[in-house]
Structure 1
Amino acid sequence: MSTAVPADNKKLGFANAFIAATLMGFVGFFARHIDAQGDFIAFSRMLCGGILFFAILAWKGRLSELRSYRISAGMVASGFFMGNCLSAYIAATQLTSIANAVFFIYIGPIISTLLAVIFLKERMKFATWFAMAAVFAGMMLIVGLVSVDAGGVHFGMTFSSKTFVGDMLALYSGVGYGLFLFFGRFRTDVPGETRAFWNFVFALAGISILFLFTRPGVAQMATSDWLWWIGIGIVCGFGALGACTIATRHLKAAEFACVSYWECVVAAVFIGWLVYGEVLSAVQLLGGLLIIAGGTGEMAIGLLGRGLKRRKVPETRPV
């Protein structure tokens, strides 16, 4: 179809990955202002995303795409795990330590990369492995999982029977995040807005199933809670997850993974430090620099490598 964008548009992919990671970093900022259960907050992100992408398709006169492109198992799985992993993550932050919850969900990009290498045969350059190691190490430093003081190096994760349920939810959030990104690499023939709409629809279905067990209440929510609830849906749902869906269509799993850790820098520096005045240690600043270096390095590799390949292709002239 004429509306389809080339599946290997790296510039569009990296731009959307950066936007997604930036907006995702504001989740904590919005969530602090909402007196509601985690899965109900996640529901807003899926609902607003679905409604707004439907509106975009209607405005562009492309609603026919919702029928012309066949819905596959990969599209269903991508949306389902998108909704479930975010619900599980928010619930995990309430039942275990933030360090544990953050660590487990951020193994998601690693899982998606390994699955793509094994099953989709996506090739990984040594420089990409190095960039991924840098951003993962940077994540552990900037969120405080690893700290350094006079007594040596300390690892921040702890486990106990009291936090077992929270830790399992955190683990599921990481696995679910990885599967969401992995299945997002399928059906690249479907235009970005159409894929995003179906992702949000199946995410809503998955969260609605969870409601049968969690039964979230809304009686305690005031007007300000509802306004922030809509805000997180527009910014971190429609904006962040919509851009994420488009990015995974154009980037390899490893390329998206390296950029996705920029979220940690946004949350720690722009929200934690600038908004709430939380002091950043030298180790955390080092972590931020590692994430920036790894992410920008991978973008350079992806964009420059693409340009070099195009230069090597001989020019064809009509006979």
Structure 2
Amino acid sequence: MTTPATTPINKKVGFINAFIAATLMGFVGFFARHIDAQGDFIAFSRMMCGGLLFFGIIAYKGRLLDLKSFKLSPTMILSGFFMGNCLSAYITATQHTSIANAVFFIYIGPIISTLLAVIFLKEKMKAGTWVALLAVFIGMMMISGLMSIGPNGMSFGMEFSEKTFFGDMMALYSGVGYGLFLFFGRFRTEVPGDVRAFWNFVFALAGITILFIFTKPTISQMTSTDWMWWIGIGIVCGFGALGTCTIATRHLKAAEFACVSYWECVVAALFVGLMIYGEPLSSAQMIGGALIIIGGMSEVLISMLGKSLKKSDKQADAVSAL
């Protein structure tokens, strides 16, 4: 029996896909504002379009046998399940608690995945990576309005109440789910990105369908315009964003992906909020955006430079051995 061919780990491919994923994810709010539907039904579009389009790509390449050759494993199933659940929980959270709380909790996801990868996968973290991760996390809190600059210095504006308890718990679940999705995505790196993405979307769909039993979404109020935007978010923020996210996690360590993932906040605030809706940015938000850009780019440079140095050392060793 022949072993299916796989592509080697490529940091450049990983970072490019991570930036594409974060950029497209930043437009989720833009599409969602045009759809009169429940959050989990919007998430369903992202999973359905992603699954169908990746299946079409695999079929077009004549690689349908790869879906059978690369056996399913619990980590592949769990990665997809949590991908669908975390996105549904996040959108539900935005409807029952403040946007600031929902954003904060879902963005602890990359931190969770990084810690899990360090503990269980023994992924090593350089000091520079810890600094970059701290910078982008602080930048996220500033650009989302959780941290602000006032006459008395920095202030933290997160609030909890009994009224928003359900929403806060859904937001917390979305963050944990996001972290588990990214963590389980670090397993089975021998499986090609498109095959992994297809199965992720399949099991994400299964997870959301189970949630429908409890949420009972309605579609009778949706107009033809709503349906067009519903398909649009599925293609752009489902197939495009989540597909490239799955490919990126195959090539990058958890911390590397985490540092780049916060670019989504800059896209949402700058390109969607400011340029499309004319929402002004405060000085704290601009500082936060700068921290995310600097932190993300520094991690790319740290990773790529480290790879180049290792390659140079190997070449030097090969020459000295002659």
**Superposed pair shares fold, TM > 0.5:** yes
The answer to whether 1:315 aligns with 2:321 is no
Alpha-carbon contact 2:101-2:168 (below 8 Å) kept: yes
Q: Distance in 1 between matches of 2:257 and 2:153?
A: 33
* Equivalent pairs, count: 318
Q: Deviations over 1:152-196 (max 9, x none)?
A: 432121000000000000000000000000000000010000000
- Structure 1 window deviating more from structure 2 (305-314 vs 130-139): it is 305-314
- The residue matched to 2:149 in structure 1 has which SS? strand
Whole-Å separation in 1 of the counterparts to 2:244 and 2:174:
20
Shift of 1:317: 11
In the TM superposition, 1:155-174 aligns within 5 A as 155-174=156-175
Alpha-carbon distance in 1 for matches of 2:307, 2:26: 29
Match of 1:89 in 2: 90
Residues 1:234 and 2:242 aligned together:
no
Q: How does 1:237-316 map to 2 (within 5 A)?
A: 237-313=238-314, 314-315=317-318
Residue 57 of structure 2 is matched in structure 1 by: 56
CA-to-partner distance for each residue in 1:14-72, whole Å, 9 max, x for gaps?
Answer: 00000000000000000000000000000000000000000000000000000001100
Is the contact made by 2:81 and 2:200 (CA closer than 8 Å) also made in structure 1?
A: yes
Structure 1 match to 2:73: 72
Instruction: Tell me how far apart the structure 1 counterparts of residues 125 and 302 of structure 2 sit (CA, whole Å).
Output: 11
Offset at 1:151? 4.2
Distance in 2, Cα, partners of 1:179 & 1:13: 19
CA separation in 2, counterparts of 1:79 and 1:279? 36
After superposing the two structures, state which structure 1 stretch, 225-234 or 144-153, moved more.
144-153
In structure 2, how many angstroms separate the alpha carbons of the residues matched to 1:244 and 1:121?
A: 22
Residue correspondence of structure 1 range 50-199 to structure 2 within 5 A: 50-199=51-200
Q: Distance in 2 between matches of 1:117 and 1:143?
A: 27
Amino acid across the alignment from 1:295: G
1:5 corresponds in structure 2 to 7
The Cα of 1:204 is off from its aligned counterpart by 0.2
AA in 2 matched with 1:14: F
TM-score normalised according to structure 1 size:
0.98
The one-letter amino acid of 2:99's match is: I
Map Cα deviations across residues 89-111 of structure 1 (whole Å, 9 max, x no partner). Answer: 00000000000000000000000
Quote the Cα distance in structure 2 between the aligned partners of 1:9 and 1:263. Answer: 22
Hey, what's the Cα distance between the residues in 2 that align with 1:302 and 1:221?
46
Q: Normalization by structure 2: what TM-score?
A: 0.97
d(CA) in 2 for partners of 1:149 and 1:278?
Answer: 20
| Aligned CA-pair RMSD | 1.4
CA deviations 1:190-224 (Å, max 9, x no partner) are 00000000000000000000000000000000000
Percent of residue pairs bearing the same amino acid type: 72
CA shift at 1:315, angstroms?
2.8
Residues of 2 paired with 1:227 and 1:317: CA distance?
63
4+ residue segments displaced more than 6 Å: 316-319
Matched AA of 1:92: A
| Alpha-carbon distance in structure 2 between the residues aligned to 1:120 and 1:316 | 33
Residue 5 of structure 1: CA displacement? 1.2
Mark the CA change 1:56 to 1:318 in structure 2 (over 3 Å): closer, same or farther: farther
Show CA shifts across 1:248-273 (max 9, x none): 00000000000000000000000000
Matched, 1:45 2:49: no
Q: 2:188 is paired with a residue of what secondary structure?
A: coil
Equivalent residue of 1:274, what SS? helix
